[in-house]
Amino acid sequence: MARLRLGVLISGHGSNLQALIDANLKRDFGAEVALVVSNQSDAYGLARARDAGLAAALISHRDYRTRDEFDAALDDALNAEGVELVCLAGFMRVLGTGFVERWKNRLINIHPSLLPAFKGLDVHRRVIAAGVRLSGCTVHYVRAEIDNGPIIVQGAVPVLAGDTAETLEARVHEIEHQCYPLAVDLIAKGRVQIEGECVRLLDVRDARGRLINPAPGDPKPA
C-alpha cells in the first residue's frame, strides 16, 4: 500500500520534523515525508530534511506582499509534490482562512498544551503560573480559529515542583515526539474518523487488547 505523502511546514529547529523523519524509516509507518517547507532561511529543520535526503524548500513570507500570496505559494509547492496531509511542526505563521479551508481535514498541528487549555504562545510559563499539575501536547486538525479543531491525540506529562518553562518544555517535547508520529500513522491507516468537530479513533482496544470500535474490515470483538 502506498504511503500517505506528507508536507511538513517548519520555522525553526524542527525537532517534531525529526520525529517524523525517524518514523519514516519504520517499515510499518503509514506515511512518508514528501516535502519540507520553511519560511525562515536559517531554520535548522531545513538541514535535517536535506541530511535525510528529503525535498526541502524555502518559501519566505517576506517575499510576498500579502498573506494570500504567501499561502498560494505554499499551496503550489505542496500540490507539486503530491502532498496529501500537511503537518505544522513549529510553523510560526498564521495561515489564511482560504488555505485552511482548501486543506480542511488534511491539515494538522501540534500544540504544547492539553487543548482547549492554554491556547496561544508562552504556554509553559502560563501553565506553571496557573499551578496546574498536568500539561502535555495535542495533535489536532487545524481550523481558522487559532489552536482549535478536532483533537486526534493528546499526551500528558506532570508539572513538577521547581519546574521552569525550560524544564517543562523539554518534558513536553519528549511526549510530542511520540504523539505526532502516532497521530500521522493513525490518519494514514484510516483509523481517524471525523464526526462533526470531534474525532473518533477506530482502533480503540480494551484492557485485554480486544477492539472496541473496529475499523471497517477489522474482526468484530467477541
What does the domain layout of the chain look like in residue ranges?
A: 1-103
Percentage of the chain modeled with pLDDT above 70: 91
Q: What is the pLDDT of residues 29-77, one digit of tens each?
A: 999 999 999 999 999 999 999 999 999 999 999 999 999 999 999 999 9
pLDDT greater than 90 at residue 217: no
Query: Of the listed 111, 124, 140, 177, which one is catalytic?
Result: 111
CATH homologous superfamily of domain 1-103? Formyl transferase, N-terminal domain (3.40.50.170)
- pTM to 2 decimals? 0.92
Alpha helices (runs of H) in the chain, residue ranges in sequence order: 15-24, 44-51, 67-80, 97-102, 123-130, 165-188
- Helix 165-188 to helix 15-24 angle (10° resolution) is 40
pLDDT, greater one: 221 or 190: 190
Confidence label for 118 from pLDDT (cuts 50, 70 and 90) = very high
pLDDT of 203 reads 75
Mean pLDDT of the chain: 93
User: Of 117, 163, 161, 108, which is closest to residue 136 (Cα–Cα)?
Assistant: 117
pLDDT, greater one: 219 or 40: 40
Q: What is the 3-state secondary structure (H, E, C) of 152-167?
A: EEEEEEECCCCCCHHH
pLDDT greater than 80 at residue 169: yes
Residue in this structure with the C-alpha cell 514528501, named with its chain if needed: 34
Mean pLDDT of 210-216: 59
CA distance 102 to 95: 11
pLDDT of 190 reads 95
pLDDT greater than 80 at residue 1: no
Q: Is 13 a catalytic residue?
A: no
